[in-house]
Amino acid sequence: MSVLVLLLVAVQFSGISSMALSRSDGSGGGDVLKADENLPVLGSYAKLRELVAQMQANNAGNMRFMAKKEAQTQGAVQDQRAAAAPEAGGSWDFSTTNVQVQGVDEADTVKTDGTYIYQVSGGRVVISRAYPADKMAVTATLDLAAEDLTPQELYVDEKYLVVIGATGNAAPVPMPKRKGPAIYPPRSLDSTVKAVLYDVRNKAAIKKLRELELEGTYVSSRKVGPALYLVANRNVDFRILKEEVEKPTPSYRDTAQQEEFIALGYDEIRYFPDFPQPNYLLIAGLNLEKLKEKASVAAYLGAGQTIYASTENLYVALTNYEEQPVALKQETKLGDGAVVQDKVAIRPPDVTTNTLVYKFALEDGRVAYQGKGQVPGTVLNQFSLDEQGDYFRIATTTGRLGQS
């Protein structure tokens, strides 16, 4: 039978010793985060092809295992915490989302502020008055299906409603700056993840304030005070190794800047050395109270699966599979002992797993890379990760994959 061992370890991150977050007046990719300077810049399409080819060669044997690990949203049961509502002729308690870390809100399909309930229902968000009971009624309905948005999760505070969902349309190919005829590559069928911000203080006149949209699939999100953070994965197609036509870089749309999608330049994309999967990891942050301030969007050649956040740091974990083929040498000999032929047989390979953890600093809607750690084994979900003081703790399970 398979042997599984549960490990609880503290992770030491390699990277930088201090964080530097700063603003930039440059156009395009939002804030320039100096802490990211510790990661190499992608720089060009040629470099992208080189890195993807290298990754494919290094992981040719274990790609089938990596394909089984999709980016996943988090889900588990925690201890409930009650939050007190403002007094109005008395006081009452109401349940809130079971968050993992105090002060770090997590999205949910149902939210309440103590008086109103906000619920994802199909392609709509239904807002109902729940208190007092004799005034219970549906007060508003947001039909998001009409906007080609499938709502998945919500955030609610005393001012704002944030709806996070997926769209069915891929981001358009940005038009090149050069003039003249050109052949544009077909766009992949990746969807986008969109966060829509509403002012819900007046339930009779709910107002849309802003949209932030990332190309790719939704991984997870967190909200720390007024700061919202989104994490998405965008696939890199292996066909770039065979096709000469340059594929578009990841793009995003922030209505605080413009209505059209903005493509990130290769000089704005960094990569994790020895990244195991051909994806772009996109992390966006914005401050809900600063509606005119552009979002901070960072892109990394890598991927993410499991998310953990404290009030100051974001951790992105990714399972890496390493296949170790074992060669068994066989010799055929004549009667006098002379070797006639050598044969090499390959037994089924041993597959070991480890978890890569990338650490990012959070501050007021901005994100900066801090360092990387690696531990043996795999994590179950976000509750396998924890930060306590200056230590990051992770529980993993180790064993030989596919052996019994």
Dig out the tokens for 170 from the structure.
Answer: 């891929």
How far is it, in rounded angstroms, from Cα 358 to Cα 363? 17
Mean pLDDT on 364-392 = 91
**Residue scoring higher pLDDT (230 or 396):** 230
In this prediction, residue 346 has a pLDDT band, given cuts at 50, 70 and 90, of low
Q: What is the rounded CA–CA span in Å between residue 66 and residue 145?
A: 33
pLDDT of res. 229: 98
Instruction: Work out the average pLDDT over 368-386.
Output: 91
What's the whole-number mean pLDDT along residues 376-392? 91
On the question of pLDDT at 244 being above 90, the answer is: no
Q: How many CA atoms lie within 13 A of 385 on its CB side?
A: 27
Q: What is the pLDDT of residue 3?
A: 47
Read off the pTM: 0.78
Whether a cis peptide bond, with omega within 30° of 0, leads into 132 is yes
Q: Are 378 and 355 in contact (CB under 8 A)?
A: yes
> What are the pLDDT digits (tens) for 162-216?
999 999 765 555 544 444 444 445 455 568 999 999 999 999 999 999 999 999 9
pLDDT for 208: 96
Question: Are 363 and 31 within 8 A, CB to CB?
Answer: no
The tens digit of pLDDT for each residue in 34-93 reads 556 778 999 998 899 888 888 777 665 444 444 334 333 333 333 333 333 333 334 456
Token reading at 50: 């080189």
Determine which helix (DSSP H) or strand (DSSP E) holds 45, and give its type and residue range. Answer: helix 45-58
Per DSSP, the three-state class of 220 is strand
| pLDDT for position 26 | 39
pLDDT in tens, 291-309: 999 999 999 998 888 999 9
Number of other CB atoms surrounding residue 66 within 10 Å: 17
Q: What is the mean pLDDT of residues 92-112?
A: 86
Question: Taking the CB of residue 35, how many other CB atoms lie within 10 A of it?
Answer: 21
d(CA 57, CA 35): 30
- For the cut 70, the answer to whether the pLDDT of residue 17 exceeds it is no
The distance of Cα 400 from the centroid of its chain, to the nearest Å, equals 27
Q: Are 126 and 119 in contact (CB under 8 A)?
A: yes
- Tokens found for residue 309: 């956040």
Where in the chain are the domains?
Answer: 9-76+98-175+186-398
Cβ atoms 288, 337 nearer than 8 A: no
